[in-house]
Amino acid sequence: MTTDAKASARERLLEAAATLTYRDGVGIGVDALCKAAGVSKRSMYQLFESKGELLAASLEERASAFVATLLPAADDGRSPRERIMHVFDQLTSQAGAPDFQGCRYLAVQIELKDQSHPASRVAHRVKANLTAFFRAEAEQGDAGDPDLLARQLTLVFDGASARAGIKADTPTGLIAPTVTVLLDAAGMR
């Protein structure tokens, strides 16, 4: 097998893992992943040590796109308060898509429960980085308790994402006022 063929099989597996686990959950079987990717199980195990490693690599590959769609550019000139609101505006926009199923990183952590699972470790890091973004902005905006505010904002993000993902609620008109109350109470500028 040539290097190009291996890379192609790898990319197909990563795409299948991203698509199927987001739609159907992490319990999707190896057979279904391989079938969707058009790759034999033997090839999958040559490319990835385990299904868990495939899931972790798939999550890792999408992490930068997740961040790019949510977070504002580092030097965008907006206030910390506006930068935080940007994240929630993005979530509201994404949640309006018909195929939105919530935050894939939160879903993985909930489904796997095992914090030592390779995919759970990637998901935990990505979510921790979002909380760190909130904390840094809260510090820049002179929040009274940046750590508490960051945790509260993550809770709102995850809750809104989960509720929208299961089609139990829509974040439109709900998230912005909720976040505004938190930012005001923290003394954010």
In three-state secondary structure terms, 144 is coil
| Predicted local confidence at residue 5, as pLDDT | 55
CB-neighbour burial class of residue 47 (10 A; exposed 0-12, middle 13-18, buried 19+): middle
In three-state secondary structure terms, 49 is coil
Q: Tell me what the mean pLDDT of segment 112-120 comes to.
A: 94
Identify whether the C-beta of residue 186 lies closer than 8 Å to the C-beta of residue 143.
Answer: yes
Domains of the chain: residue spans and CATH: 1-48 (1.10.10), 51-185 (1.10.357.10)
Per-state percent for the chain, helix, strand, coil, to nearest 5: 70, 0, 30
Question: CA 7, CA 15: separation in Å to the nearest integer?
Answer: 12
* % of the chain beyond a pLDDT of 70: 96
Two tokens at 10? 């790898």
- Please determine, for residue 3, whether its predicted confidence score (pLDDT) is greater than 70: no
Identify whether the C-beta of residue 136 lies closer than 8 Å to the C-beta of residue 73.
Answer: no
- Please determine, for residue 183, whether its predicted confidence score (pLDDT) is greater than 60: yes
pTM for the model stands at: 0.91
pLDDT digits (tens, 9 = 90+) for 122-136: 999 999 999 999 999
pLDDT digits (tens, 9 = 90+) for 29-85: 999 999 999 999 999 999 999 999 999 999 999 999 999 999 999 889 999 999 999
How far lies 51's CA from each of 13, 29, 86, 116, 118, in Å?
A: 10, 9, 35, 14, 10
Q: Give just the sign of the alpha carbon dihedral 113, 115, 118, 119.
A: positive
Instruction: Please report which confidence band the pLDDT of residue 1 belongs to, taking 50, 70 and 90 as the band edges.
Output: very low
Question: CA 1, CA 74: separation in Å to the nearest integer?
Answer: 43
| Predicted local confidence at residue 171, as pLDDT | 86
Instruction: Please report which confidence band the pLDDT of residue 8 belongs to, taking 50, 70 and 90 as the band edges.
Output: confident
Identify whether the C-beta of residue 13 lies closer than 8 Å to the C-beta of residue 47.
Answer: yes
